[in-house]
């Protein structure tokens, strides 16, 4: 039982449970024991469900495709009834307590998932690492001096350590794909409006999304099937897919038109290790029958980045005020960069915010034109090969924070600003055996093509057997 998720993904274990070849409670107990042991090394889970809370979670799980599969929900963007969502902050550690599940969490339970805890995140998801002052740093199971990335690093660490086959993750600028890349996992950011954020209307001017990190492509696809769809009053709703996303993983993608980047848009150059990884991946795609050529979308990366900063700051200020419900953060309640972002956000005028949103939309049209010519845009997921702990700091100046942030998001954040789907696939490795995620972007609403391509790559170049030993 200890090695159950070494050999099986979530759908496979659920099938064993449905066929009564293994007991759901047996899976749950073994998983909790494994999670506790792994967490002692990785610091990835902030709260474990136990007692009455755990029994209620077991009772709430339906008989869907993930029947009996243990699951953790990130401490950001998703509420679980009866517990606070801390957003990685000391200020929100105990309140507000959620009265109801968010819409996506309710769908997770209906799909059969048994929520057993909450996973660590950076404060308000602002950092592409998972080192909050409240709760401490999460360690990458591939190497103890490295971060698993963020802000979904807690979820990625436990999946990389094979303590769970998949875990909830959110993505406002790359927070599904960055930890997937650094932990050797599959991570898909869905299109804007594909999964409802109810009861909130949106986050980050539509940039925020959620799904999971997973060992297999098909687990992410099946969870997307379970969570996809709108709720009454949603401000965005992605176009309905022609068939299930799981079905997309079972069919070939056809001959795709693939563009690849040797450097981020607006940059002069990139680490040769990453350039070589892109070139090898491009050759793999050609060998699979796809048309591949070097080409870059035409948009102003500097303006898009500046707009992202405006949106992040304004949302940080507003979200703290709304969640605090009249409480005022004390001197030690927020990390320095969070406080600086909030203070800056409070000074942003309506016209500045509107201009930022208009920049998002303008970039979306430019990216949309690019995807009239190509089906896929390929690059590395991040513009560095690894992330040592302490690289992106939240306890200093905004300048130092942004210096650490810059190479983490030049490929990912534009997808959030424009709402297009994107995924990180663990196809490449450094000379010393660390994973390098390859980033694939598609036109708005076309997760099916991404999932079909990912499954094709998974069959041709499987990654599941490449796993770390640091979390064991």
110 is catalytic: no
Strands laid side by side in the 70-74 sheet: 45-48, 114-119, 70-74
Catalytic residue among 57, 119, 155, 175: 175
Measured between alpha carbons, how far is residue 314 from residues 266, 344, 356, 396 in Å?
25, 8, 11, 20
Pairwise CA distance, residues 175 & 189, whole Å = 9
The one-character DSSP state at 88 is T
Query: What's the CA gap between 112 and 103, in Å, rounded?
Result: 15
Of residues 31, 57, 74, 122, which has the active-site annotation? 74
CB 249 within 8 A of CB 455: yes
Cβ contacts of residue 326 below 8 Å, gap of 6+?
A: none
Spatial contact of 211 and 245, defined as CB atoms under 8 Å apart: no
Please state, in angstroms and as integers, the Cα–Cα distance from residue 355 to each residue in 40, 199, 301, 417, following that order: 46, 26, 15, 13
- Would residue 74 show up in a list of annotated catalytic residues for this protein? yes
Catalytic annotation, pick one of 151, 379, 386, 424 = 151
Q: How many Å apart are CA 388 and CA 137, to the nearest integer?
A: 12
Active site residue 175: yes
Contacts of 246 (CB under 8 A, 6+ apart): 218, 221, 222, 225
Kindly report the backbone phi and psi dihedral angles of residue 387, in degrees, each rounded to the nearest multiple of 5, phi listed first: -135, 90
Cis peptide before 213 (omega within 30 of 0): no
SS3 for 107?
helix
Q: What are residue 129's phi and psi, to 5 degrees?
A: -135, 175
In order of 138, 164, 183, 223, the CA distances from 32 in angstroms are 18, 10, 21, 21
Query: Tokens 């159950």 appear where?
Result: 4
Residues in the chain: 472
Residues catalogued as catalytic: 74, 151, 175
């Amino acid at each position: 039982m200890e090695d159950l998720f070494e050999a099986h993904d979530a759908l496979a274990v659920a099938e064993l449970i449905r066929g009564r070849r293994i007991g759901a409670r047996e899976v749950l107990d073994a998983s909790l024991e494994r999670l506790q042991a792994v967490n002692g090394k990785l610091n990835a889970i902030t709260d474990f469900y136990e007692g009455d809370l755990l029994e209620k979670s077991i009772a709430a799980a339906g008989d869907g495709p993930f029947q009996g599969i243990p699951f953790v929900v990130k401490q950001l963007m998703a509420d679980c009834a009866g517990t606070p969502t801390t957003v990685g902050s000391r200020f929100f550690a105990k309140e507000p307590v959620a009265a109801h599940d968010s819409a996506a969490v309710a769908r997770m339970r209906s799909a059969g998932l048994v929520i057993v805890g909450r996973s660590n995140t950076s404060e308000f998801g602002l950092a592409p690492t998972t080192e909050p002052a409240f709760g401490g740093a999460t360690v990458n199971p591939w190497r103890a001096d490295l971060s698993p990335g963020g802000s979904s690093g807690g979820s990625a660490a436990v999946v990389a350590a094979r303590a769970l086959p998949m875990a909830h993750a959110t993505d406002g600028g790359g927070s599904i794909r960055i930890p997937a890349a650094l932990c050797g996992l599959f991570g898909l950011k869905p299109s804007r409006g594909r999964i409802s954020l109810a009861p909130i209307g949106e986050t980050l001017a539509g940039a925020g999304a959620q799904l999971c990190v997973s060992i297999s492509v098909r687990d992410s696809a099946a969870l997307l099937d379970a969570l996809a769809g709108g709720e009454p009053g949603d401000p965005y709703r992605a176009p309905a897919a022609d068939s299930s996303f799981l079905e997309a993983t079972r069919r070939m993608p056809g001959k795709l038109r693939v563009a690849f980047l040797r450097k981020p848009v607006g940059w002069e150059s990139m680490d040769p290790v990453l350039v070589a990884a892109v070139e090898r991946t491009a050759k793999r795609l050609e060998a699979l029958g796809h048309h591949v050529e070097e080409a870059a979308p035409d948009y102003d990366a500097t303006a898009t980045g500046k707009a992202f900063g405006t949106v992040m700051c304004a949302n940080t200020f507003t979200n703290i005020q709304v969640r605090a419900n009249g409480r005022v953060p004390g001197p030690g309640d927020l990390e320095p960069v969070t406080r600086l972002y909030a203070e800056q956000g409070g000074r942003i005028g309506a016209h500045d915010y509107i201009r930022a949103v208009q920049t998002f939309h303008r970039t979306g049209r430019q990216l949309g034109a690019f995807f009239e010519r190509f089906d896929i845009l390929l690059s590395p997921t991040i513009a560095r090969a690894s992330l040592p702990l302490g690289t992106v700091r939240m306890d200093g100046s905004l300048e130092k924070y942004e210096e650490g942030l810059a190479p983490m998001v030049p490929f990912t954040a534009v997808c959030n600003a424009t709402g297009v789907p994107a995924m990180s696939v663990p196809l490449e490795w450094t000379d010393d055996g660390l994973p390098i995620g390859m980033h694939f972007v598609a036109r708005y609403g076309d997760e099916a093509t991404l999932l079909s391509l990912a499954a094709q790559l998974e069959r041709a170049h499987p990654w599941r057997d490449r796993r770390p030993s640091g979390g064991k």
